[in-house]
Structure 1
């Protein structure tokens, strides 16, 4: 089977009978209502409240587990094989169950509306990946109408309700990737344009050294959130570049600068971000390690900049997968993977 890359051309679509045996989707999550992960009064959103953080994780776990399952199945589809079409049909059937239930339609808190974008992105990306391979698209309208409703709600939130700082932070980037995915599968260019403008808005806040002010002020997690912003921003830039709408040269090659800053500061033990936040960084104080899923944007980045020295870092990692980016990024961006 021909491997399809990030643009998923319709030439790769298959024909054949629909899947006869597909596991039911997990129960759709209709409502999300949770507070901040961070301590009350922490305007920098940098000091986790352990109980609140656990409550947020518990609320999101069913959604995130579903997205991981969808991404795993989507990977199987892109790898090809005798069951690729059946698996694609199953992914679509499972997403359709959530669409019919109007999942994620009742977001009862500001924080839920702030953070749901990455989840919409993950589901929409799984659908985008498998749709060309499916034999049964009878639920396509149901799914696309549902995704479009969630996307337009996100657009309204970010334009009308989000705080000034959040509008130039990583969660705006994840919402932008969601709207890019939905805009592509529904043919709504206004959503694609909003995604592009949002990515540019974030990138253009970068300082001369490439640091993102909204992220690097966040105490011990400043560098963590700089890296967290790179996944949606790089993916958006690579996808737009692939359709002749490049943003990589804007604001003084901002994307290259923000990526370079993150790796330079990681190599410096977080000293650069400590200079902005006043705190030792979480990757170096025993709190956490930089995980491969945080670097899953590298194949998309290397598609944009194949001569980058970051190819050495990418090649050293066995896995470059992030479910909210659609799973194994080498399958999407590296034709030799």
Structure 2
């Protein structure tokens, strides 16, 4: 046994070690069990059943995005590697909602990787040997999903962002180009007044879906710039027209009556985190109307886009 004076000197050190060993930080990268199949009921068909079914996948996404937000790239990579090794989310889908969920999740995974410092990605290139093919399988399943493709609405645009983001991460030009076709469909859908005819048909949710449709178009436009493609210019600046429609509606919801006379019902998140597109849009165009819209809402957090959008895309406000 050590002499008592030595034990007394070592006691604080041993206590500190004990705290470190049991601290939550060492458990911060606990990896949720892989979800093999994401196949919830439709959101509008069974809201409570939907919420329960997507919980395990959303829990994983939350841990991944939290790690990214903290800059804990080692944990983020470990989470992705684990699910890639299990070929997560690639099981059979019997309904339709699962195709949307898998597409959104794959977009999030790719966005997290795009936020990783280039040096970290280069140092860990070997670990992407499992992750990249898994992401490509998710993207191919999204590309080929008739449950999405026949809709020709905002979900097709989200599928386009999925393909562009994953194509960018993996260097797969075929996936990128398939995504570009879907995003350009969305850009062509924007009418001279900024409206989207298919989203107008959503009745009292039309404004919500205009906002939701704008998200993938803006983020795809940002990613496309890496290939010297300026989607903001296409269809006579159509993305800007849709953005203007939404900005005006945020400032004055009555302005949307020029698009439809139906009273609009918004989800609590419609004019909150689903306005996340304003971060890259303001950084790009410095629209003077946006700081007043952005400031009280920061930080914007969107689970489909890597979490804290403000941290990765935001620009200083005046």
Distance, in Å, in 2 between the alignment partners of 1:181 and 1:289 is 24
Distance, in Å, in 2 between the alignment partners of 1:30 and 1:120 is 14
User: Which of 309, 314, 321 matches 2:294?
Assistant: 314
Partner of 1:8: none
Distance, in Å, in 1 between the alignment partners of 2:227 and 2:288 is 22
Contact 1:117–1:154 (CA under 8 A) maintained in structure 2 = yes
Distance, in Å, in 2 between the alignment partners of 1:98 and 1:218 is 36
Distance, in Å, in 2 between the alignment partners of 1:295 and 1:22 is 30
Query: TM-score scaled by structure 2?
Result: 0.82
Distance, in Å, in 1 between the alignment partners of 2:249 and 2:316 is 31
> Once the two structures are superposed, what CA deviation does each residue of 1:165-186 show, in whole Å capped at 9, x if it has no partner?
x22x221222222111211111
Report deviation, 1:29: 0.8
User: Which of 79, 93, 107 matches 1:121?
Assistant: 107
Which has the larger helix fraction? 2
Partner of 1:54: 48
Contact 1:67–1:119 (CA under 8 A) maintained in structure 2 = yes
Residue 294 in structure 1 maps to residue 300 in structure 2: no
CA distance 1:68–1:291, change in 2 (3 Å): farther
Decide which structure has the larger Cα Rg and report it.
2
> Once the two structures are superposed, what CA deviation does each residue of 1:265-304 show, in whole Å capped at 9, x if it has no partner?
333325535853x531113xxx646442111111111132
1:1-337 aligned within 5 A: 23-38=29-44, 49=45, 52-77=46-71, 87-106=72-91, 107-130=93-116, 132=118, 133=120, 135-157=123-145, 160-162=146-148, 164=150, 166-167=151-152, 169-270=153-254, 272=256, 276=260, 279-283=262-266, 288=268, 290-334=270-314, 336=316
Report deviation, 1:129: 1.9
Distance, in Å, in 1 between the alignment partners of 2:308 and 2:190 is 28
CA distance 1:335–1:268, change in 2 (3 Å): closer
Partner of 2:14: none
- Count of matched residue positions in the alignment of Structure 1 and Structure 2: 290
Q: Which moved more, 1:242-251 or 1:134-143?
A: 134-143
Structure 1 vs Structure 2 CA RMSD = 2.5
> Once the two structures are superposed, what CA deviation does each residue of 1:160-215 show, in whole Å capped at 9, x if it has no partner?
45354x22x22122222211121111110121122222111112111211011121
Q: Which moved more, 1:294-303 or 1:318-327?
A: 318-327
Report deviation, 1:103: 0.7
Gaps of 5+ in 1: 1-19, 39-48, 78-86
Distance, in Å, in 2 between the alignment partners of 1:179 and 1:66 is 21
Q: Which has the higher contact order (CA 8 A, sep 6+)?
A: 1
Query: TM-score scaled by structure 1?
Result: 0.78
Distance, in Å, in 2 between the alignment partners of 1:163 and 1:126 is 25
Gaps of 5+ in 2: 1-25
